[in-house]
Amino acid sequence: MSQATLHAVQTASSPAVAEPILRVNNIEVIYDHVILVLKGVSLAVPEGGIVALLGANGAGKTTTLKAISNLLRAERGEVTKGTVDYNGRSIQNLTPNDLVKMGVVQVMEGRHCFGHLTVEENLLTGAYTRTEGAAAVKRDLEMVYDYFPRLKVRRSSQAGYTSGGEQQMVAIGRALMTKPKLILLDEPSMGLAPQLVEEIFEIVRQLNQKEGVSFLLAEQNTTIALKYATFGYILENGRVVMEGEAQRLMENDDVKEFYLGLAAEGRKSFKDVKHYRRRKRWL
């Protein structure tokens, strides 16, 4: 690992200063007993923070999120080393159900809607763990419909028959229905129309500011992710290769070139990218 680049962005103001709501310590994840995917990932999400997790395809973002929300077991993966703490408490042995009750919810990559349930029923399953009564749930349902008017139109269609973007809205809305404190968002912008992408991130910001919800956000759309995030980690090949405040990351030359598409000369047209670029790796 080239220490130089690492240090270039590592600043004193690591998020550890504010008491983190989530801390991942040096975890290692193995799938199927043989495929080593995460090779010691550490990160922290401060209470009320929005943290972006960036990295190329296959870097291990999804795996990291699943390790936190304990959905790995369902994929025959396991955390073999390291710890995950939420609010200072180890959560590795809790079920996803316990986690949701504690306010940790994951929006899974690739939508995963309940195809045979209607859009509204999908949203209501999100309220399964809630106990504060029908009225509160109803209110939140209306809130989700406010965020995503399209869902209201399609509320009684079976989710399996809705379009890709509509399903993505369902998945996000369903997670919001759990009334979370920490949302693990896996590629929320995938497949969404541009103006909706903006809206989603506006929702993130609103929830974050008004309700104090924290976010850990795996995203390919680096530009927008860093715009809304306070802190960012860059993952390559199962390792964190760079971390820093969002602002600083955006200013880093490598990040600019590889993730934001801003070379020294400014933004290039997709048409003009002549050669296949050999990826510059930090490893």
Partner 1 sequence: MDFLYNFFISPFVQIADSPLFFVEVLTGGLLSGVMYSLVALGFVLIFKASGVFNFAQGAMVLFAALFFAGFIDKGVPWWGSLILTIGVMVLLAMTIERVVLRPLVNQPHIILFMATIGVTYFLDGFGQTVWGSSVRVLDIGLPQTPLEIGGVLVNKFDIIAAVVAGSLVAVLAVFFQKTRVGRALRAVADDHQAALSVGIPLKTIWAIVWTVAGLVGLVAGVMWGSKLGVQFSLAMVALKALPVLILGGFTSVPGAIIGGLIIGAGEKVAEVYWADAIGGGIEDWFAYMLALVFLLFRPQGLFGDKIIERV
Partner 2 sequence: MLYREAGQFKTSYAADQQIFPILQDRVGIAVIAAIALGVLPLVATEYLTTTILIPFLVMSIAAIGLNILTGYAGQLSLGTGGFMATGAFAAYKLSTAFPDLNIVFVFLGSGVITAFVGVLFGIPSLRIKGFYLAVATLAAQFFLLWLFNKVPWFTNYSSSGVISAPPRAIFGDIMVTGSSAHYTAKYLFLLVFVGFLALAAKNLTRCHLGRAWMAIRDMDIAAEIIGIKPLQTKLSAFAISSFYCGIAGAAWAFIYTGSVEPLAFSIEISFKVLFMVIIGGLGSILGSFLGAGFMVLLPVILTNAPHILGLNIPVDMISHLEYMIFGALIIFFLIVEPHGLARLWQIGKEKLRLWPFPY
Partner 3 sequence: MSSTAVSAASGSDAFTADGRHKIGGVILSVQNISLSFGGVRALTNISFDVRQHEILAIIGPNGAGKSSMLNVINGFYHPQEGKVIHKGQERKRMRPFMAARAGIARTFQNIALFKGMSALDNIMTGRNTMMKSGVLAQAFYLGRARKEETEHREFCEKIIDFLEIEAVRKTPVGRLPYGLQKRVELGRALAAQPEILLLDEPMAGMNLEEKEDMCRFILDVNKEFGTTIVLIEHDMGVVMDISDRVVVLDYGRKLADGTPDEVRANQDVIDAYLGGGH
**Site residues (vs partner 3, CB under 8 A):** 31, 35, 54-59, 109-111, 150, 154, 157, 161-166, 168-169, 187, 190-198, 220-223, 258-261, 269-271, 273, 276-277, 279
Return the structure tokens found at 12: 């004193």
Stretch that binds partner 1, among 11-19, 112-120, 197-205, 258-266 (CB under 8 A): 112-120
| Of residues 24-63, those binding Mg ion (CB under 5 A) | 61-62
Number of residues that make up the chain: 283
CB closer to ligand ATP out of 102 and 260:
260
Contact between residue 26 and residue 180 where contact means Cβ atoms under 8 Å apart: no
Q: Applying CB under 8 A, does 73 fall inside the site for partner 2?
A: no
User: Shortest Cβ distance from residue 178 to partner 1 (Å)?
Assistant: 6
Residue type, 167: Q
Contact between residue 229 and residue 216 where contact means Cβ atoms under 8 Å apart: no
Return the structure tokens found at 90: 């180890």
| Of residues 106-125, those binding ligand ATP (CB under 6 A) | 109
Choose from ligand ATP, partner 2, partner 3, none: what does 110 bind? Cβ within 5-8 Å by kind. Answer: partner 3
- Beta bridge partners, 20, equal 46
Coil/strand/helix, residue 50: strand
**DSSP-derived pairing of the beta strands 77-86 and 20-31:** antiparallel
Q: Applying CB under 8 A, does 113 fall inside the site for partner 1?
A: yes
Torsion of CA 232, 68, 217, 159, to 10 degrees: 170
Coil/strand/helix, residue 183: strand
CA distances for 152 relative to 84, 114, 248, 254, angstroms:
37, 17, 40, 43
| Of residues 152-191, those binding ligand ATP (CB under 6 A) | 154, 157, 161-166, 191
Choose from partner 3, ligand ATP, partner 2, none: what does 196 bind? Cβ within 5-8 Å by kind. Answer: partner 3
Choose from partner 2, partner 3, ligand ATP, none: what does 75 bind? Cβ within 5-8 Å by kind. Answer: ligand ATP
Residue type, 241: V
Site residues, partner 2 (CB under 8 A): 30, 32-34, 36
Site residues, Mg ion (CB under 5 A): 61-62, 109, 163-164
